[in-house]
Chain A
Amino acid sequence: MTQQSRLAIWKTYKIYIGGQFPRTESGRSYAIKNSAGKTIANACQSSRKDVRDAVSAARSAWGGWNNRSGFNRGQILYRIAEMLEGRKKQLKDELMAQGYTATVATREINLSIDRLIYYAGWCDKYQALFSSVNPVASAHYNFSVPESMGVVGMLAPTNAPLLGVISLMAPCIAGGNTCLILADQEKPLAAVSFAEVLHSADVPNGVVNILTGYQQELTDWISTHMDINAIVCFDQEKPDWQKIQENGAGHVKRMFRWNTQQLLRAGGQSPYLIMDLQEIKTTWHPIQTIAGSGGAY
């Protein structure tokens, strides 16, 4: 290292709840280390109360986000990509600080940006693809449309600090859901910086909430939370999938485990992931059929 002319300003990595960057209410933090084992930053060790706050922020944000037009959500996802593009260097540094090579870091960032673009484009299209008009055998008009599930709890994978978060978040919010994401425990820095990107990208407050901390401590609170409609995690050994499912069964939570291998490679994206987090709603209405009008057209 060369002689420093000034003392560097260290970054405080905070969590992201309801469009704000608080420290954890618990006042705890844990050390984030580089591959050599040296502490490079402290991250918030979020508590159950942070989970509670994040869910309540996500719930408040949900109605408005769900009501946005698909087009508008697409614009915002695209805006996130634009902002991320401008922060490439910072994120690359953060990834490299945690042991990535420049090539791998660049690849992950580029994939992440492209993934956002991919889902930005889906926001106003999946509905047409997965809706149906159902030809019922009575004088009724009947159609089925996908609708967002609500608040989704998401547990990020290891080994993809940025791409993991974005691969979870993008199909979730593209479909009108809001979410709480628990970042990779060991490598949360990119996730926190990504929250700053979100904050500058017109994402309404509370649509995405990002926590850092210990998965073991928080997954129970997330999976038992009665106001979380769905949970997504990756098909890795941890966290304890069985425990999560047992917890979620308490109020019929929708729970998904997405395939890590598929998801983290190029092309690991699909409208079917948007659909995992959609309900199907079917609406009926009578059709007036005036006698004699049958032959008139």
Chain B
Amino acid sequence: MAKKKKWEYSPAPESKQPAAIAGRYELFINGKWQKPSSGTYFNSINPATEEKLSEIATANETDVNKAVQAAKQAYEKYWKKISPTERGKYIFRIARIMQERARELAVTETLDGGKPIRESRDFDIPTAANHFFYYAGWADKLDFAFPNKKANSLGVAGQITPWNFPLLMAAWKIAPALATGNTVVLKPAETTSLTTLKLAEIIQEAELPPGVVNIITGDGQTGAWLTKHNDVNKIAFTGSTEVGKIIQRSLAGSQKKLTLELGGKGANIIFEDAPIDQAVEGVVNGIFFNQGHVCCAGSRLYVQESIAKKFIQKLKDRIGTLLVGDPMDKNTDIGAINSAQQLKTIQAYIKIGKAEGATFFETDCVLPKKGFFCRPTLFTNVAQSNRIAQEEIFGPVLSILTFRTDDEVIEKANNSPYGLSAGIWTDKGARIFNLSKRIRAGVIWANTYNLFDPTSPFGGYKESGFGREGGLQGLHPYVQLS
């Protein structure tokens, strides 16, 4: 038989056109788009091409104050007074409009943040809309949420979101805050503000009373002004543990309620009786989902020694099929690293891993010439005392360790200042319950990994933060019980 041409996937690029990104974005304060007092703007670039997408207003202290005052007035004037049922209906509207504008939001998210279009289309955007839909329904049912107590709103919630799931994290923050009767000032991460600004448009379109949700853009300094503002009653932050600690310290002595959703170094544990092929998938989802920019990423892989060789080979074979490249291509599995800065951090850790003597492996895929990209990377022969096994890398880099007994792996999994997530792969139910009880982490995925749902509370133990987002328990951070 003649040598046949290998069957490859042709490029399948999504169109940029639905994104409809404006040339410039102002601040969304008191229901209106307002020019920043600073008069300055910063560029938002596409990390896959390094091209400028838009320019975005920098909010200074005056702007932050304006936004907080708007939120405070909206709280007193409208949001506190309207009936919970009506409040819920506004939130339902937001959910619906997000669903209607799903394509636009997905394309924008991918252009702005570098994540594969498949992920923004199938995960980020629908899950964000669902989150609003879920919490909308809570608005007039709070009496059932806290037995024997009355749930009172707090006032103005100041919220700061990260760059890894921009719109989804905005939904995680805004939806429960509004449902419980608070008003909002939210600052998205500097590198990924666009979908949150589009969410502001949606909020406008949904005719929420002015000032109920305010979106201010800027860098860490803008965030610091927001967290320190005296008229803010609640701070919710998702981001690095380092910044989380600074915020927690800055709130010391104040009455502000605080929720922190910080870093992690999730242990993903594979026992010899695991469903091996699905575990390989779980490991891949655990560390390569969203380029590894996931706080609950399963970045520490513990494989039982008896199957380590076989498992690692399967894992290598599998990641060899991952397609790295243009995030807008529907077939791309791993998109662009979010920023030049983050790529530098990841590369520094890869260097550290090599220097520490761990065995380095990366796939041989060809990377695009422009943009910030990183091949799927594994380190084997890693020890607990290696930095790549301890510190959050926040990229597509997996550290693989081995273990022998259940007790040993529990101890190793807990041997971390973090406690956000863990994975357990075994066919034995009793073992799952033992480990899921003894591993100190807020989310345990047994025989699965990296799943999220609006009904399911998410949040950490230890230095991974406190408070929960999602589910019934996600209401608590936004209420005062009496």
Contact = CB atoms under 8 A, between A and B. Distances in A.
Q: Do A and B come from one complex?
A: yes
A242 B457 CA distance: 30
Interface stretch (A101-109, A207-215, A248-256): A248-256
A245 B248 contact: yes
B165 interface: no
Contacts, number: 114
B453 A138 contact: yes
A60 interface: no
A246 B451 contact: no
Nearest to B462: A252
A241 B471 contact: no
Interface residues of A, number: 35
A217 interface: no
Interface in B232-269: 241, 244-246, 248-249, 251-253, 260, 262
Given A245-B252, A249-B249, A254-B466, A284 B442 contact: no
A284 B443 contact: yes
A268 B461 CA distance: 28
A297 B466 CA distance: 42
Given A142-B456, A284-B456, A250 B245 contact: yes
A90 interface: no
Interface in A133-162: 134-138, 140, 142, 144, 147, 149-150
Interface in B249-298: 249, 251-253, 260, 262
B130 interface: yes
Contacts of B246: 249
Interface string B204-215: 000000000000
A137 B462 contact: no
Nearest to A129: B147
Contact of B468 (A136, A149, A280): A280
Contact of A252 (B245, B436, B448): B245
B85 to A, nearest CB: 22
B446 A285 contact: yes
Nearest to A242: B253
A202 B221 CA distance: 54
Contacts of A246: 249, 252-253
B432 A285 contact: yes
B340 interface: no
A279 interface: yes
B451 A140 contact: yes
Interface in B450-466: 451, 453, 455-459, 461-466
B472 interface: yes
Contacts of B456: 134, 136, 142, 144, 282, 284
A229 interface: yes
A144 B249 contact: no
B147 to A, nearest CB: 6
B77 interface: no
B253 to A, nearest CB: 3
Contacts of B462: 229, 251-252
B65 interface: no
B365 interface: no
Contacts of A129: 147
B441 interface: yes
B172 to A, nearest CB: 14
B16 interface: no
A132 interface: yes
Given A245-B253, A252-B462, A137 B442 contact: no
B278 to A, nearest CB: 9
A135 B473 CA distance: 14
B357 interface: no
A285 B433 CA distance: 11
A272 interface: yes
Contacts of A283: 436, 443-446
Given A241-B253, A251-B417, A282-B444, A134 B471 contact: yes
Nearest to B453: A136
B117 to A, nearest CB: 21
Interface centre among A138, A244, A246, A284 (most CB of B within 10 A): A284
10 contacts: A132-B472, A134-B457, A137-B455, A140-B448, A144-B471, A245-B249, A252-B241, A280-B442, A282-B471, A283-B444
Task: List the 10 closest pairs (A to B, CB-CB), nearest first.
Answer: A242-B253, A245-B252, A249-B248, A249-B249, A136-B453, A246-B252, A134-B455, A283-B444, A285-B446, A134-B456
